Amino acid sequence: MTTRLYRVGQAAVTIRDPEQPVEKNRLRIQAQRRTLDSSLKQHITAVKWRWQLSWRFLTTAEYNTLITELVREASMTFQPPDTDTTYTVVIASDVEVADNEFDSLDVSVALEEV
């Protein structure tokens, strides 16, 4: 298992694998409306992935590598730990950082496919 996160078009950066199991959702970009006879019509623009990732007990080196990529204001390339496929994503939530009882850092963030 290898997890990578880096700016699109730049050199790949390997980060520590997130906590397992990785939570991921299939987002439906869609709208729906009922017609005059009450039947439902649904128009789908696209279906995209969204990952809710968290890391626990990061060392300082692991944290620095991860946070460098998470604060970028750009489209990112993401390779989830469970696949060799890469996705173009954006950071879709606040990056939450917390100290834990073992004097290391926990991080959580959501990534969303563009």
Residues that bind other proteins (CB under 8 A): 29-37, 39-46
Whose Cβ is closer to other proteins: residue 2's or residue 30's? 30
The DSSP symbol for 74 reads S
State the minimum distance, in angstroms, from the CB of residue 30 to other proteins. 7
Tokens of 96: 């939450």
CA distance 29 to 37: 25
On whether the CB atoms of residues 51 and 22 are closer than 8 A, the answer is yes
Whose Cβ is closer to other proteins: residue 20's or residue 32's? 32
Whose Cβ is closer to other proteins: residue 88's or residue 100's? 88
